[in-house]
Structure 1
Amino acid sequence: MRRFTLILTVFFISVCGILAQDTGADKEDQQSPDTASVFFFHADQRWPGASALYRTADTLLTGFQFYDPAEGTDLLNAVNGNIGLAYKPMIFKHHGSSGFRFTPYNFDAYLLNNANIRYYHSFIPYSNIAYSFGKGKEQLFSVTHSQHLARGLSLGIDLRIINSVGLYNRQKSDNSSVAIQGQFISDNERYAVLANYRNNRFKWRENGGITDDSAFISNTETDRKRIATRLSNADNLIKESGFQINQYYYFGRNPRLAERNKSGIDTLQGTVKTGPDSLMQSTLPGKLFFNPERTNFFRHTFTYTRNALLYTDTDPLSGFYNNIYNDSTSTFDSVFFHEFTNQLIFEGGVGKARGSGKAVLLRAGIEHAFSTYKNDTIIRRFNRFTPFAYISANAFGIAKAEGKIWFSNGAPFNGDKGIAAMLTLPAFDNSTSWGNLYASLALDALQPDYIYQFHASNHFSWENSFGQQTILGGKVMYKRKYVQAGFNVYNLDGWVYFDENALPARAEGSVAVSQFYGLADITLGSVGLQAFAVWQNASKPDILRLPDIAGRATATYSVALFKKALYLQTGFSLMYNTAFFADAYMPALRSYHLQSRIKTGNYPYVDGFVNLRVKRARLFLVMKHLNSGLSGYNYIMVPSYPMPDRGLRFGVSWNFFD
């Protein structure tokens, strides 16, 4: 009760303090009058199309209550009962990767990596500080700063920290990530450099889950700390770091000088995206920024990635493990691998068409990767060469056709290859009229992730030659204004997975996966609805287990108060999935595997929230799992890892300029 009173007091003082500032604004989704425009982009890794420019949603209230990086309108993950720990997506999606595929990373949402690091365009110094806390000593802290140092030179930093003790014994997460990025473009705009350094460090206590699910489901023990867990001395340490340098040399004329100020709006994501070659920097003399959508260049990319994984347990004889191979007194399983890559790319285009910068665009490149893998007993080194090519053609804005192909030569992914074709009708953003239709067909032949091929530790050991998996995927999607719907179909031939003993296995024959999904973001006056739902089916549910139906719906009511000094949004969010045999978690592998012991799902998770915005600040107050205990205690998403009980969360995000 005292904690609840303290939270409300802090909340009230914060609101009152903010209200003392000057006021103004017109609508919830507009930039505050006390806000400067800050843009960002991601550096594409291999294929064009990932480097669009977006405006930061630093004053948007819709979705602000989703403070967990692994949670969102269309992010549906089965989590290990505490924020910052491993999770398993409940929606099947094939992820292709161009680097060393060691293991299915079940913590990508927390990582800062080359694909998601933001390069900022801020016309004045910009900073954001965010902090939230809640039940179970849950704390999240983040800092963002971006500054234009000189004409053509910018620097930025992102820091993220997640620390949560959790409600059960040995459930603590301690995650920290930092990324420093810089960009430089010469005065004549012929030469440009993008560079970043990143460091991720995750330290997890591993309890192996509770020993008796029935004790939780029957609620015979209300003190969660007194429920016994299967591991008492196990920990996981994950370190990922590295840097990347992209160097560009542009040829031909600079289109920015000929055409400016084209823009489009990505309504589903709540961000503003500029069109090709229109970065608006010409409106501010002395400011010069890298143009992520400019073509006609040669690029060299150097990347270094370092990974270190450590699993320890001072009590291997606890009965949790099926095997002990090396040491019965202590488990110390370390895996280290690093990779150097050099990539050369040419990109050029001709003509001009509505909806894209060039009527015909070609990108071609080659990548060399040198990798080293080692554990306590073995060191292996690999070399890979990967040529790749991309081409797109825009037929007068009526349609845009794209194709890409790649082939990898060298261990441990020798012979990996892929080919894909995409079609967009029409080629330009037609969301305000009839909408857009997208279709794609892709075929990948891939060796399984390296952990399925080779692993040697105190409790697991194998060396396999499974051969390639063949993944055929077809997708059709329609998008108009605030609505999106689609159909996906996959055929997985030779699919490799972890069986019920957490050992690698290869499926006989093929597995077919079908999916229908819909996404909506609709506002009618003061009432809003954001909803996502998916139906999916796997032809062999004994190998690939998915909930038939999963989704999340959020209803909001927004209003401006105190002469538009304060914007308030309140609402409820509901997440639900049908019952299925969700995969179990194996801490020693940091991976999920099949189980047939317990079904999870068929339980609604309801959150109630209030979001506020006053000038530069946003605040949220969320009652997580509002219905806890009202419809039973079967709220388990990962077997033996109960979800948290009802709890209050409070958070604030504050922007600073100059």
Structure 2
Amino acid sequence: MKKNILVLFCLISVQVIFSQIRNVDGSFGKIPRRGVDSLPDNEINVKLSGKTKYTDYKIISHKNDTTIVDTTLTIQKEYKFNFLRKDNFELLAFHNQGQTFNNLGYDFTKISQFPDIGYKAKLFNYFHIEDINYYQVPTPTTEIMYRTGLEQGQVLDALFTTNFSKRFNVALAYKGIRSLGKYRRSLASTGNFRLSFRYESPKGQYAIRGHAVNQDFFHQENGGITPTALEAFINDDPNFSGNRARMDINLNNAENTLDAKRLYFEHTFKLLSSKDTVNQKDFSNLKLGHSFTRDSKFYRFNQGSATTSVFGESNTSVGINDKTTYLLYDNQFFLDFNSKYVLGKFRVKTALSSYTYGYDNLQNNTVGITKNKLKGKAISFGADWNGRIGNFYVNASGILTPGSGRLSGNNFKGEAFYKKDSVFTVKARVGISNKSPNFNFLLHQSSYDSYNWENNFAQIGTRTLGGVIDSKWGNASLDITNISNYTYFNDNSTPEQFLGDVNYLKAKVSKEFTFGKFALDNTLMYQKVANGNSVFRVPEFVTRNTLYYTDEWFKGKPLLVQIGATFKYFTKYKANAYNPLLAEFTLQNDTEIGYPTVDLFFNARVRRTRIYFKADNISSFVLKKNYFSAPNYPYRDFVIRFGVVWNWFI
């Protein structure tokens, strides 16, 4: 809480400093300005060097796609108003915000090139390289997102960005979460600090951008409620319905932490611009570039004393202190150019990468583990292509890491799409990937005897084929995925590879119907696992339907309101169980979960401020107590929460 307040205070202080200008007489005053409206017919007017429009406040993604700062109030903003700040339609949240998620669906269109440390249950709120944004703003800009916690605590996500010149931008952001859950030992405390910058020389010959990220994820782990408490929950025992903290839990002294730091920068030098006359017909915009990544992660599981009834025998009678470290260096060199022969932009690239994963020393000397570290280096080669012919676009990216090491493999992604203005877009995509499983599948050590292994697993092969249709009449997508050597944690929490192929189909359709001031937004997902459903499990149907009312209230229409209810349902399936020692989800064959929920919301927008009131799971008053996020982990009961998103433009 103190850390969140300090960050907010600093950002506001910087905002105030940048909002002052020195007048001719030496005094200070506010920059003359008008309020910023989000609608296209309202513009930001700031008396600096001329007229500033709302379209001048730009957000630039890692792929250099540009959007503008958006202060509208839409139903999509309602779906994204959570601590992830993403639409979590395919995720099943645990009861306390800041905790992990179970999966209702999977996305295999974004597969990383190299294996990672693992412990995936800790990484839902992790900012990857492609999650960091860069900015171009004519005046200092701030966004504050605040949301109340479950029992005690809150979420705060604060961003401040400014251009020190037309070509140099710096952005500071921090997202902090501290939330005390309804059940004992369910505290979640996380922080994501991001610093990004971008600079371009006056003539655009040299450009650099980069970021530094520091992230920490701390969770108390209670192992779920005990069988006796589980029975009391299902039967709605009045002794516990008003106070979930009375329920017994499986772990009373366990917690896990994942810390992550990353330094990334990319810079380019233009050897030949589009204005040069030499070879302009054949080649232009010739750039030489280099990118550097240093990515480190540290995972720790602590326990005051061993709990053999949950994790089995241990080699120590004192506290558990399992530690795992991971470090990756990646240097990539590339050459960019445009040419009529490739119908667009082409990049050739090569990279040198090295990694270290493991433990400072052997955690358990009684189980026959022979090594405590994995190390290696690799050289990669690849190319990217972005082409266009009229309204037809092609994007392709491929990289090959030859050899037999743990970083070896290949990754190819391609998409072709046709875009007809804002009427519709049709896209086809394909992906092929071969890579080693995450490192915690290959080597793991723990003071608990059953959590020690050394494996030499085969590479996981993933092949995807799919398509997307976006139109004013509705949206639809279809993805077919084939996975060979699928790697998972079995019901004994040990890693295995599936001998056959997993064949997974996912189809999703969405459509909104409007009736005057009312609207019905619908999303339906159908999934089928044709082969491998013994190890890969998803619900067959997932649906979300939102009925809401939108109107402008009061004279002069200063207030836009959005009032509605969201119904969500997924069919029963044997959802994966959560293992807090591994911070991973594992197979289980005993419990099926699947249930509906109903949430109510009242949202409003006053100029640049969006206000959110939400009543979560109001259906818990009338439905059976069969709502779970994972076996032994109940989903949240009815709770009312408040939040706000506020933009300032100086």
> TM-score w.r.t. structure 1 length?
0.83
Question: What residue is the counterpart of 2:59 in the other structure?
Answer: 40
CA contact (8 A) 1:64 1:620 kept: no
Question: What residue is the counterpart of 1:11 in the other structure?
Answer: none
Distance apart, 1:479 and its partner CA:
1.7
CA contact (8 A) 1:23 1:565 kept: no
Secondary structure of the residue aligned to 1:342 is strand
Question: What residue is the counterpart of 2:472 in the other structure?
Answer: 481
Secondary structure of the residue aligned to 1:169 is coil
Select the structure with the greater relative contact order (CA < 8 A; seq sep ≥ 6): 1
Q: Deviations over 1:306-329 (max 9, x none)?
A: 1111101112135110242x3232
- The residue type paired with residue 53 of structure 1 is T
CA contact (8 A) 1:73 1:530 kept: no
Q: Give the length in aligned residue pairs.
A: 582
Matched, 1:141 2:156: yes
Question: What residue is the counterpart of 1:54 in the other structure?
Answer: 67
Secondary structure of the residue aligned to 1:75 is coil
State the distance in 1 between where 2:88 and 2:254 align: 33
- The residue type paired with residue 231 of structure 2 is S
Report the identity percentage: 21
State the distance in 1 between where 2:153 and 2:220 align: 15
Distance apart, 1:555 and its partner CA:
2.3
State the distance in 2 between where 1:169 and 1:373 align: 33
State the distance in 2 between where 1:553 and 1:31 align: 32
State the distance in 2 between where 1:301 and 1:39 align: 23
RMSD of aligned Cα (Å): 2.5
Distance apart, 1:583 and its partner CA:
0.2
- The residue type paired with residue 298 of structure 1 is L
Change (3 A) 1:152 1:73: closer
| Structure 1 unaligned spans of 5+ | 1-21, 44-49, 256-293, 353-357
Q: Deviations over 1:499-524 (max 9, x none)?
A: 00111111121111112111335555
Residue number among 95, 99, 114 corresponding to 1:81 in the alignment: 95
Matched, 1:381 2:375: yes
Change (3 A) 1:138 1:391: same
CA contact (8 A) 1:145 1:157 kept: yes
State the distance in 2 between where 1:25 and 1:242 align: 35
Distance apart, 1:486 and its partner CA:
1.9
State the distance in 2 between where 1:453 and 1:376 align: 17
Matched, 1:587 2:580: yes
Distance apart, 1:648 and its partner CA:
0.6
Residue number among 280, 289, 293 corresponding to 1:299 in the alignment: 289
CA contact (8 A) 1:430 1:480 kept: no
| Structure 2 unaligned spans of 5+ | 1-32, 46-52, 276-283, 362-371
Q: Deviations over 1:172-193 (max 9, x none)?
A: 1001111011111100111011
- The residue type paired with residue 320 of structure 1 is V
Residues 397-406 or 168-177, more deviating: 397-406
Change (3 A) 1:647 1:637: same
Question: What residue is the counterpart of 2:107 in the other structure?
Answer: 93
- The residue type paired with residue 232 of structure 1 is N
Change (3 A) 1:523 1:120: farther
- The residue type paired with residue 209 of structure 1 is G
Matched, 1:549 2:541: yes
CA contact (8 A) 1:29 1:60 kept: no
Change (3 A) 1:304 1:313: same
CA contact (8 A) 1:493 1:510 kept: yes
Distance apart, 1:526 and its partner CA:
2.4
State the distance in 1 between where 2:509 and 2:427 align: 14
State the distance in 2 between where 1:401 and 1:365 align: 19
Matches within 5 A, 1:480-629: 480-481=471-472, 483-521=474-512, 523-538=514-529, 539-562=531-554, 563-601=556-594, 603-629=595-621
Question: What residue is the counterpart of 2:129 in the other structure?
Answer: 114
State the distance in 1 between where 2:134 and 2:391 align: 32
Residue number among 244, 267, 280 corresponding to 2:264 in the alignment: 244
Question: What residue is the counterpart of 1:187 in the other structure?
Answer: 202
Question: What residue is the counterpart of 1:445 in the other structure?
Answer: 434
Residues 586-595 or 603-612, more deviating: 603-612
Q: Deviations over 1:11-45 (max 9, x none)?
A: xxxxxxxxxxx9999987876868944221222xx
Residues 26-35 or 155-164, more deviating: 26-35
Question: What residue is the counterpart of 1:214 in the other structure?
Answer: 231
State the distance in 2 between where 1:152 and 1:503 align: 52
Matched, 1:456 2:445: yes
CA contact (8 A) 2:83 2:155 kept: no
CA contact (8 A) 1:444 1:472 kept: yes
Secondary structure of the residue aligned to 2:302 is strand
Residue number among 199, 224, 231 corresponding to 2:214 in the alignment: 199
Residue number among 371, 381, 389 corresponding to 2:355 in the alignment: 371
Distance apart, 1:145 and its partner CA:
0.4
State the distance in 2 between where 1:32 and 1:82 align: 40
State the distance in 2 between where 1:295 and 1:612 align: 47
Q: Deviations over 1:635-656 (max 9, x none)?
A: 1021111111111101122222
Change (3 A) 1:24 1:374: closer
State the distance in 2 between where 1:526 and 1:553 align: 17
State the distance in 1 between where 2:592 and 2:392 align: 46
CA contact (8 A) 1:302 1:342 kept: yes
Q: Deviations over 1:89-118 (max 9, x none)?
A: 211222411344221623444223321111
Distance apart, 1:197 and its partner CA:
0.9
CA contact (8 A) 2:103 2:538 kept: no
CA contact (8 A) 2:350 2:382 kept: yes
- The residue type paired with residue 175 of structure 2 is R
Residues 26-35 or 546-555, more deviating: 26-35
Distance apart, 1:58 and its partner CA:
2.7
State the distance in 2 between where 1:328 and 1:138 align: 35
Change (3 A) 1:145 1:366: same
Secondary structure of the residue aligned to 1:316 is coil
